[in-house]
Amino acid sequence: MKKTTFPTPQDAEAAFYEALERSDLEAMMEVWAEDEEIVCVHPGGARLAGYEQIRESWAQILNSGQQLKVHLSDQVGLSGMMLAIHSLYENILVQGESRPRAPVAVTNIYIRTGNGWRMILHHGSPAPQTPRASGDSPKILH
């Protein structure tokens, strides 16, 4: 049973990024639903499904010794009674590096549970160095 209740999807998302910056695995996993249908895709990585696979991947990342600072930008959200979808860019600066890494285009999906909002999907993909202006037409259609 989870100890923390997140009253809104925004609260869950804030806790997710705070845990990432603090390298706090327990706080990170507190945000995730305890379900075998949850999914995580790290940039350039394999699709991970289920609580244990996702926990192990975050343990490796958070135990790497790298201190991260994450600036979120271009956030777009869609919320309903039971589901919230957030699309955004993660702009990550690793302590000791002078320049931020390439941005990561992210989709986070949250579901409302009996114990507040929980993450069910985190999907990060490498993004162009400069996000495309909203008036530009896409280069690839699929």
pLDDT tens digits, 65-116: 889 999 999 999 999 999 999 999 999 999 888 887 889 999 999 999 999 9
From the CB of residue 12, how many other CB atoms can be counted at a distance below 10 Å? 26
13 occurs within a structural domain = yes
17 occurs within a structural domain = yes
Q: Residue 52 has what pLDDT? A: 96
Task: Report the amino acid identity of residue 20.
Answer: L
Q: Let me know how many helices (H) and strands (E) the chain has, helices first.
A: 3, 6
Q: CATH number of the domain at 85, please.
A: 3.10.450.50
- Could you give the number of structural domains in the chain? 1
CA angle centred on 14, ends 107 and 69, rounded to 5°? 85
Q: Which of 117, 46, 57, 47 is nearest to 82 (CA)?
A: 117
Residue range(s) defining the domain that contains residue 41: 9-126
pTM of the model: 0.87
